[in-house]
Structure formats: C-alpha cells, structure tokens
Amino acid sequence: MTDPATPPEPAAHQKIDTSVPHSARIWNYWLGGKDNYPVDEQAGDAYTAVFPGIVTIARSSRAFLRRTLTYLVTEAGIRQFLDVGTGLPTAENTHEVAQRLAPEARIVYVDNDPMVLAHARALLHSSAEGATAYVDADVTDPDRILAVAAETLDLGRPTALILSNILGHVADHDQARSIVSRLMAALPSGSHLVVDDGSLGVDPVFEQAQAAYNDSGAVPYNLRTVEEITAFFDGLELIEPGVVPVTRWRPDPGSPAPETVAEHGGLARKP
Ligand SMILES: C[S@@+](CC[C@H](N)C(=O)[O-])C[C@H]1O[C@@H](n2cnc3c(N)ncnc32)[C@H](O)[C@@H]1O
C-alpha cells in the first residue's frame, strides 16, 4: 500500500484554535519549525526566558527517537510502528527514519490536534514498498486507536509503539499506565515500547517553567518522576541502558559527551 488518500480536513468542531497555545505548535517552534501561531511563539518565548534548556530537551528527544527507531529497524527487525502523539511534521519523522532503513516499513501516526491533521499530508509520503497512515484520535481511546491502526498494520506481527512527549497530557498516572498497558496488550511478543518524557527531580528551573506554563491557560503538561516513567515499562524487558536521560540512550558513536537533560526515555521489548 502506498499513501492513503488525502487526510480529511479538520471537522467543524475541530477548528484550529489560535487563541490558546498548543503543545504540538510550541514544540514545533522549539524544534525550529514554522507551523505555529503568535500565541505559541509567545508561550514558547515565555518558557525559554525562564528555562532555555527546553530547546535542548526538544531536540534531544527527537534525536533519541531517531536512535531508537534505528535500533528497532536494524537490531530488532521491527517493520511496523504506531506513533501516538505524533506532533507536527518536522525533520526526521518516524516514517522517514524507518523507511530509509527498511523501505517496506509501515507507520501509523495518531494525534488529536486539528493543526497536526491539517499538516498530515507531509506525514503520508510513504515509500512505494511501505505504508503510512494518519489517525485523528485521542490517546485516551486506545481501543479506537487499535481498531483504526489495524487497517494499515498487521497487529499480529511485532510492532513498536512510540509515545514520545505525549503521556504528560494524561494527568493521572494510573490512567496513563493503563493506556500503555492496553495498547501493549494488543501487540504480540517481540513488540517494543518507546517512551520518553520530561522528568521531575532533575532541574528545578525546568519544573518552575512548566508550572508557570501549566498555569497560563495552555493545555497542561505533567512532568513525571523517573520512577513513574520507568513504570510505563512494567512487564517488559528494558533494552540497555534502561530508562536514562535521552542524551545517554546509546549516543551516536563519536558524538561529544552527552549532557544530562530532564527528559528520560527508554525502549523495551515485550517478552
Ligand atoms: C509535545 S508534542 C510531541 C510531538 C512528538 N511526539 C515529539 O516528541 O516530537 C505532544 C503531541 O501530543 C498531541 N496530543 C496532546 N494531547 C493528545 C491526546 N489527548 N490525544 C492524542 N494526541 C495528543 C499533541 O497534539 C502534540 O502533537
């Protein structure tokens, strides 16, 4: 299967709200993208005025995603990817990294932001041998995600679930854990989970900036302790080096000594 048809326009009830900053658009701003509005730029600048390190976190997180995808394709033999909380298209999107290494790779992207939906076409430039699809769905509805993903992925085959900077949008930790469990339960042995998220207990200035952001009227984002992030991998086999600052997860050979960032991530295999 090649590219599915043009993704649907956002429904009337899903108008892009340019009055409130959105995480997809602010993240895009920090990543150096152009798909954002003045309200996002202002919120992003207010954040960096307190904690400039957020830009390093955002970029380190994308680099972590690239390295985990490379591991998944080249070492774990994974060819199917379910990327929930995709974000706006940027450099090195999941399908670009995966299909560069394995053109037959199949990728399903999931997000609930109408702006991401409007830009989804850029996520759907699949290789001829593989497939990409975009699902407009909420992470809190794993059953719907799985049902629609099954139209593109064979969920009887090992699949990598990617949850990169999305679980903080689910305020309740037990609910977030249950979403991860529900999604992983539907995937067979040999499937993998990638999670990375902003971490508590590393940098008080980061936490101060995040608290101010959450009080600003933006959709809040909840940082989690390293223990809480690690708990998302319960029942799975963590691949070395485990849950670590993302810069320390198998850094590229020859890269400078990684700095510690308040963004922890890991990769695990379902036994
Ligand atoms: C901080 S961005 C992360 C983007 C990308 N995963 C990355 O790490 O570069 C968070 C993404 O989660 C999406 N998101 C937020 N709440 C969501 C929800 N309830 N269901 C699905 N996606 C959601 C946002 O629209 C945004 O694209």
pLDDT at 7 over 70: no
Contact 197, 154 (CB under 8 A): no
What would the two tokens of residue 82 be?
């379910």
Report the C-alpha gap between 187 and 207 in whole angstroms.
34
User: Alpha helices, DSSP H only, in the chain?
Assistant: 23-30, 38-50, 53-74, 94-101, 114-118, 142-149, 173-185, 204-214, 226-231
254 CA from centroid of ligand 1 (Å) = 31
Pocket of ligand 1 (CB under 6 A): 23-24, 27, 61-62, 85-87, 111-113, 116, 138-140, 164-166, 169
pLDDT at 169 over 80: yes
Report the C-alpha gap between 94 and 100 in whole angstroms.
10
Mutate to test the pocket of ligand 1, among 23, 57, 109 (most ligand atoms within 8 A of CB): 23
Q: Helix or strand or coil: residue 195? A: strand
pLDDT band at 152 (very low <50, low <70, confident <90, very high): very high
- 69-120, pLDDT tens digit by residue? 999 999 999 999 999 999 998 889 999 999 999 999 999 999 999 888 988 8
Query: What pLDDT score was predicted for residue 3?
Result: 42
* Sign of the alpha-carbon torsion through 256, 64, 32, 21: negative
Query: What pLDDT score was predicted for residue 268?
Result: 98
Query: What pLDDT score was predicted for residue 34?
Result: 87
Structural domains in the chain, CATH included, are 23-269 (3.40.50.150)
